[in-house]
Amino acid sequence: MKKILECCEFAISAIDGAQGFFNELIAIILFVIIFNVLARWLLKKLGNKFLEKKKYWHESFVRAIFLPLNYYAWFFAAIHTIDLISQHFFSINLFRDLHLILKIGAIIAFIWFLLRWKKNIVNIMMRRIKNHEITMVPGKLDVINKIITVALIFIAFLMLLEVTHSNMNTLIAFGGVGGLALAFASQEIIANFFSGAMIYLTQPFLVGDLINVPEKNIEGHVEDIGWYMTLIRTIDKRPVYIPNSIFSKIVVINPSRMTHRQFKEIYALRYQDIPKVPALIDDIKSMLKNHPSIDQKQRIAVYINTFATYSLDVLVSAFTKITSAEAYYELRQDLLVKIYAIIEKHGAKAAVPITYFEMANKQDDSIPLNER
């Protein structure tokens, strides 16, 4: 009878324990579900409110925070559930320091939120730049974006060291030995990484710039400057991926930063137009000096360049204030038409190569017909 009572008491305590286990498990799951539903509803309401008031930075904050918050809530529930199961069924503590794991998860979620918020802000700024709402070079925004990314990763690393109470001296010693071995194995990767960092610091070109790499016969617009390689979209829209270390060894021409474009043409006139050339040159100079797109502070040159084989070559040179290619070609067309009109006004004409043949008018009777 006593044994029966002991068995009954054990069964009742087991049932009570199981009920307590399942109640706690259900409570954890319900907490996460209710928390996520309320967080989604509240953040959506706040996001719509900020959009109506055009507070884009606040709205980007709301969009950035939900996903890390949601994942951390499920991470919190999963860790507690695993710990609960291990204690109930196996009577062991699977996690030696439950709070440390939760802290690490919180740090990762926090840094993830900051990276998402940063990305949203960069997208907003890029959109405003394209809409000409703010004046900023897209390449500078890209540099700031990558610098902030590196800073956030470094902050996360320091925070993880702090919560785990890691010994910095041991880490540095291990990093010195491991870093030496890694350096030999990944020289090219490290070279490209530091070359990418130098591109961001020295800024020989930015995203959106038109650059020319003569040694590689590459010309195009910079679309992305990564940590390992740079993407250039050529004039015929082909993507070219260049490792960053290449830029430390070759010359890069950046036409996007030119201050002027040179208009330079040579006009070949006939030799019989020499008397008309002085007045013609004066008119061309006057036209260039009065043209609004020509920089008068730069040298304007219109003079006889050389006496060529069949023509008198007149050089016309000036510097325009316009640097964009499309606008320059329109200006160049306008200048060519006006110069041609001046040449026509003075009655001059373009020289063309002519070959003269001289034939004898008299026949030499002393030469036999069969030898003529």
pLDDT digits (tens, 9 = 90+) for 201-242: 788 888 888 899 988 888 999 988 887 889 999 988 999 999
Instruction: Check pLDDT > 60 for residue 342.
Output: yes
Mean pLDDT of 110-125: 89
Q: Beta 301-307 vs 312-320: how paired, if at all?
A: antiparallel
Overall domain count for the chain: 3
- Look at residue 300 and tell me if it is in a domain: yes
Distances (CA, A) of 6 to 3, 15, 88, 244: 5, 14, 21, 77
Q: What is the pLDDT of residue 175?
A: 52
* 160 and 212 fall within a common domain: no
Beta strands in the chain (DSSP E): 210-213, 218-225, 229-234, 239-243, 261-269, 301-307, 312-320
Predicted model pTM:
0.53
pLDDT at 17: 44
User: Does residue 369 fall inside a structural domain?
Assistant: no
What integer best gives the mean pLDDT of the chain?
Answer: 80
The residues, ordered by sequence, that sit 6+ positions from 151 with a Cβ below 8 Å of its Cβ are: none
Q: Would you place residue 355 in the very low, low, confident or very high pLDDT band (cuts 50, 70, 90)?
A: low
| Between 295 and 30, the higher pLDDT residue | 295
Confidence of residue 180 (pLDDT cuts 50, 70, 90): low
In this structure, of 13-17, 65-69, 79-83, 321-325, the range with the lowest mean pLDDT score is 13-17
- Give the residue-averaged pLDDT of 130-137: 75
In a domain, 291, yes or no: yes
Do 25 and 148 have their domain in common? yes
39 located within any domain: yes
User: Quick one: which of 119, 128, 126 has its CA closest to 149?
Assistant: 119
CB 58 within 8 A of CB 35: no
Alpha carbons 255 and 259: distance in angstroms, whole number: 9
Contact 239, 226 (CB under 8 A): no
Q: What is the DSSP string of 102-125?
A: HHHHHHHHHHHHHHHHHHHHHHHH
Lowest mean pLDDT among 77-86, 204-213, 273-282, 311-320: 77-86
CATH number at residue 298: 3.30.70.100
Which domain range does residue 307 map to? 258-345
pLDDT band at 282 (very low <50, low <70, confident <90, very high): very high
Q: Final residue of a domain: which of 256, 275, 307? A: 256
Which of 47-51, 91-95, 361-365 reaches the highest mean pLDDT? 47-51
**What pLDDT is stored for residue 7 in this prediction?**
43
Say yes or no: 144 and 48 in one domain.
yes
Asked if residue 32 belongs to a domain, the reply is: yes
Per the model's pLDDT, the better-predicted residue between 152 and 185 turns out to be: 152
Q: How far apart are CA 160 and CA 108, in angstroms?
A: 9
